[in-house]
Structure 1
């Protein structure tokens, strides 16, 4: 078993198949298949069920995933520690993020980091829910993760750092049902059609809470694609509840942004692994959440 084989193995897991993994790694599919066959001989077991062009992890493959990530993380840490501890002359940092905080504060964090460490490559990976972010960081898929939540995190396997708070706002067409400049009471959403995200997000939890309180809101569209919210609102499909970080983009696109009453806050949390971080991850954490201001939820 070697690190090349583990890299190939995780690429197949992350990209969902041999063809995509080979393309991402810039290797031929036969070479990739041979490496996996050799790895399977080493572990004395099948790692994938091959179903047509699809692959599904076997029980042995599932067990290998976190161990493979730990091994590659240790190698990356060793490499970084040798040549780039102080200067960060290279390397790669993977960050998982939910949709809402990618506009802010993640954009500002990334800008500051790349200005200070331009040789480090950043990879921003999409996570649909806060649980997805925690899992990607916990299992080593990413070193850091950014999420929004209205309640404490369920897992003790990561270290949370409170970045700030963001209130929820209502986005409507300019000719929508509510006048500009006036806050919308939550009960006034009764009977309106809403565009919502999938369960597991703070925005969806807000809408579900409205229904639990007996406010009859209608779900017009449920989507995992947060960037679809604005076109759908502007197209008259429904209204959307989003975090205030989306307000500027929404207004520039021609939508109306209104406060909601009573105010509802979402906490923005940067999570890191409990294991030792690479120099790039430590540098990003220091920029995003200076040590003197760190707190956790």
Structure 2
């Protein structure tokens, strides 16, 4: 068992198959298959069930995933302790993020980090819910994660830092049902069609809470694709509740942004692994959350 075999194994897990993993690693598919076959021989058991073009982890493969991540993480820490990576002249950092905070505060964090450490490449991975972010960080898929939440985190297996908050606002067409410049009371949303995200997001929780209070809002579209909200609103499909970080983009696209009352706030939380971080992750955390303001939530 070696570093290359474990890297190939996790690439197949993360990318969902041999062909995609080979493309992501810039290796040939036969070379990838041979490495995995060698690893399976070393371990004395199969790691994947081959079902046509699909692969599914065996029980042994499932057991290997967290151990392989820990092993590669330890090797990365060892490498990061010397040379260019230690000095942040090179390296790579993976960050999981929900859709809402990718506009802000993540874009500002990334800009500041890349200005200071241009040699380090960043990989931003999509996470649909706060639980997805926590799981990707907890299991080592990403070192850092950014999420929004209106309630306490479901896991204590990560370190969490508050990095700001966003109010929820209402986005409507310019000729929508509410006049510009006047806040919209939540009761006024009764009878209107809304575009919402999937369950597990703070925005969806707000809409579900409206319904629980007896406010008759109608769900016109449920989508995992946050960038679809604006075209759908501008197309007259429905209204959307989004975080205030999307206000500027919405207005520039020609939509009307209105305050909601009573005010509802989403908290932006940056989470990291409890294990030792690589220098790149530690540097990003220092930029996003100065040491004097770091506190576990």
**Under TM normalisation by the shorter chain, which class is it?**
over 0.9
How far is 1:86 from its partner?
5.3
SS at match of 1:115: helix
Write out aligned runs for 1:89-238 (5 A). Answer: 89-238=89-238
SS at match of 1:40: helix
SS at match of 1:160: strand
Residue by residue, what CA displacement relative to the aligned partner does 1:202-235 show, whole Å, maximum 9, x if unpaired? 0000000001111111100000000000000000
Residue by residue, what CA displacement relative to the aligned partner does 1:182-204 show, whole Å, maximum 9, x if unpaired? 11000110010000000000000
Between 1:51-60 and 1:225-234, the stretch displaced more is: 51-60
SS at match of 2:82: helix
Residue by residue, what CA displacement relative to the aligned partner does 1:234-253 show, whole Å, maximum 9, x if unpaired? 00000000000000000000
Q: Is the CA contact (8 Å cut-off) linking 2:79 and 2:85 kept in structure 1? A: no
Q: Is the CA contact (8 Å cut-off) linking 2:195 and 2:229 kept in structure 1? A: yes
Residue by residue, what CA displacement relative to the aligned partner does 1:128-173 show, whole Å, maximum 9, x if unpaired? 0000000000000000000000000010110000001111000000
Between 1:260-269 and 1:40-49, the stretch displaced more is: 40-49
Between 1:45-54 and 1:266-275, the stretch displaced more is: 45-54
Aligned counterpart, 1:270: 270
Q: State the distance in 2 between where 1:32 and 1:102 align.
A: 34
> Which structure 1 residue ranges, 5 or more long, are not aligned?
none
SS at match of 2:122: strand
1:282 aligns with 2:282: yes
How far is 1:84 from its partner?
3.8
Q: Is the CA contact (8 Å cut-off) linking 1:147 and 1:268 kept in structure 2? A: yes
How far is 1:296 from its partner?
3.5
SS at match of 1:114: helix
Q: Is the CA contact (8 Å cut-off) linking 1:129 and 1:200 kept in structure 2? A: yes
Q: State the distance in 2 between where 1:293 and 1:62 align.
A: 38
Q: State the distance in 2 between where 1:114 and 1:24 align.
A: 23
SS at match of 1:84: helix
Q: Is the CA contact (8 Å cut-off) linking 2:150 and 2:266 kept in structure 1? A: yes
User: With structure 1 as the length reference, what TM-score do the two structures score?
Assistant: 0.98
Q: Is the CA contact (8 Å cut-off) linking 1:194 and 1:238 kept in structure 2? A: yes
Q: Is the CA contact (8 Å cut-off) linking 1:167 and 1:264 kept in structure 2? A: yes
Q: Is the CA contact (8 Å cut-off) linking 2:80 and 2:86 kept in structure 1? A: no
Q: State the distance in 1 between where 2:241 and 2:59 align.
A: 41
How far is 1:85 from its partner?
6.2
How far is 1:12 from its partner?
0.5
User: With structure 2 as the length reference, what TM-score do the two structures score?
Assistant: 0.98
SS at match of 1:85: helix
> Which structure 2 residue ranges, 5 or more long, are not aligned?
none
Between 1:58-67 and 1:247-256, the stretch displaced more is: 58-67
Q: Is the CA contact (8 Å cut-off) linking 1:84 and 1:279 kept in structure 2? A: no
Q: Is the CA contact (8 Å cut-off) linking 1:186 and 1:262 kept in structure 2? A: yes
How far is 1:295 from its partner?
3.0
RMSD value over aligned CA atoms? Answer: 0.9
Between 1:85-94 and 1:134-143, the stretch displaced more is: 85-94
Q: State the distance in 2 between where 1:69 and 1:4 align.
A: 13
How far is 1:87 from its partner?
2.4
Aligned counterpart, 1:259: 259
| Poorly superposed stretches of 4+, deviation over 6 Å | none
